[in-house]
């Protein structure tokens, strides 16, 4: 039985997404220059010709990976708090609310600046916990002379979103009463980027959860009530002192 147009569309989207995810993993493992189309399509389990079909070639596939990173980054800057039980259809005491009783979550801009800042920190570091291969690829693209121009081109494509994201974070520091919101935004980004870089180098031996809590204290935010999603390391203070090591 022939597939419907909708089924074909879904199949194409899945195939393209499989290629993109495979490219991220292979680029993270072998570098941009060391990865081949055969490596990527073999990892995705699809024909080599589909890279040209969906992306146009290897360079365009790299740009799609950069776009994925910018989508993630720009989403972080507009983060609200995590879902609260009983709000917008979540379980509340074991019973879901009716449509009439559902309350939409507040927009991020309407929340107190401390809540917005904590959400950005936790989302950024939570993404590091689950999207480290993508982070590794982009850091390499930013730093290597042969690929830096590709990253700069991707930044230009997303410039309007980048500026809006910067302004959203600067508005948080402005609402907190900081004297130089622009510098505070840059320094927060530097701190979070530094943690990402350390995670790339040291992997699981880097104390990501402890670092997250340090950032909360640095900005006078409440202690997080729960660890980052996916964190399996002992809670801070429950074991020996952390020692980040590249050899593991």
Q: Are residues 23 and 80 part of one domain?
A: no
User: What gap in Å lies between CA 36 and CA 170, rounded to an integer?
Assistant: 41
Stretch among 47-51, 98-102, 125-129, 214-218 having the lowest mean pLDDT: 98-102
pLDDT confidence of 237, banded at 50, 70, 90?
low
CA-based end-to-end distance of the chain: 52
User: What gap in Å lies between CA 61 and CA 137, rounded to an integer?
Assistant: 12
More confident residue, 191 or 3: 191
User: What gap in Å lies between CA 134 and CA 151, rounded to an integer?
Assistant: 13
Residue 23 class from Cβ within 10 Å (0-12 exposed, 13-18 middle, 19+ buried)? Answer: buried
Beta bridge partners of 108: none
Q: Are 81 and 115 in contact (CB under 8 A)?
A: yes
Beta bridge partners of 92: 95
Measured at the CA of 79, the angle between CA 90 and CA 148, to 5 degrees, comes to 140
> What average pLDDT does the segment 168-172 reach?
96
Residue 168 falls within a domain, yes or no? yes
Q: Are 233 and 207 in contact (CB under 8 A)?
A: yes
Q: Are residues 150 and 75 part of one domain?
A: yes
Residue 206 falls within a domain, yes or no? yes
Q: Are residues 90 and 198 part of one domain?
A: yes
Q: Are residues 52 and 63 part of one domain?
A: no
Q: Are 103 and 88 in contact (CB under 8 A)?
A: yes
pLDDT confidence of 87, banded at 50, 70, 90?
very low
Q: Are residues 95 and 33 part of one domain?
A: no
Q: How confident is the model at residue 51, as a pLDDT?
A: 94
Q: Are residues 167 and 142 part of one domain?
A: yes
User: What gap in Å lies between CA 152 and CA 209, rounded to an integer?
Assistant: 31
Residue 247 falls within a domain, yes or no? no
Q: How many CB atoms lie within 10 A of CB 32?
A: 21
Q: How confident is the model at residue 94, as a pLDDT?
A: 44
Residue 248 falls within a domain, yes or no? no
29-76 pLDDT, tens per residue?
999 999 999 999 999 999 999 999 999 999 999 999 999 999 988 888
Q: Are residues 151 and 51 part of one domain?
A: no
Domain extent for 176? 59-218
Q: Are residues 101 and 151 part of one domain?
A: yes
Q: Are residues 52 and 13 part of one domain?
A: yes
Residue 2 falls within a domain, yes or no? no
Q: Are residues 22 and 73 part of one domain?
A: no
Q: Are residues 112 and 51 part of one domain?
A: no
More confident residue, 54 or 90: 54
Number of domains forming the structure of the chain: 2
Q: Are residues 106 and 52 part of one domain?
A: no
User: What gap in Å lies between CA 153 and CA 58, rounded to an integer?
Assistant: 15
Written as one string, the DSSP assignment of 154-170 is: HHHHTHHHHHHHHHHHH
User: What gap in Å lies between CA 107 and CA 148, rounded to an integer?
Assistant: 35
Q: Model pTM?
A: 0.78
Q: Which residues contact 93 (CB under 8 A, 6 or more apart)?
A: 86
| Residue 106, pLDDT above cutoff 80 | no
């Amino acid at each position: 039985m022939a597939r419907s147009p909708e089924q074909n569309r879904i199949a194409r989207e899945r195939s393209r997404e499989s290629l993109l995810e495979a490219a991220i993993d292979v680029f993270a493992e072998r570098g941009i220059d060391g990865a081949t189309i055969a490596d990527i399509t073999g990892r995705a389990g699809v024909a080599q010709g589909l890279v040209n079909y969906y992306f146009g070639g290897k360079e365009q596939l790299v740009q799609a990976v950069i776009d994925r990173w910018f989508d993630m980054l720009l989403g972080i800057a507009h983060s609200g708090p995590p879902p609260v039980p009983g709000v917008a259809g979540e379980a509340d005491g074991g019973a879901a609310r009716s449509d009439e009783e559902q309350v939409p979550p507040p927009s991020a801009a309407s929340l107190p600046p401390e809540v917005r800042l904590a959400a950005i920190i936790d989302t950024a570091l939570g993404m590091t916990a689950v999207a480290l291969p993508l982070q590794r690829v982009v850091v390499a693209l930013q730093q290597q002379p042969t690929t830096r121009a590709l990253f700069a081109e991707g930044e230009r494509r997303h410039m309007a979103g980048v500026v809006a994201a910067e302004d959203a974070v600067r508005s948080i520091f402005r609402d907190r009463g900081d004297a130089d919101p622009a510098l505070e935004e840059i320094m927060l980004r530097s701190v979070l980027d530094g943690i990402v870089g350390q995670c790339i180098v040291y992997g699981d031996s880097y104390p990501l959860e402890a670092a997250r809590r340090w950032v909360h204290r640095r900005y006078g935010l409440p202690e997080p009530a729960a660890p980052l999603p996916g964190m399996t390391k002992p809670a801070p203070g429950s074991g020996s002192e952390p020692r980040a090591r590249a050899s593991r």
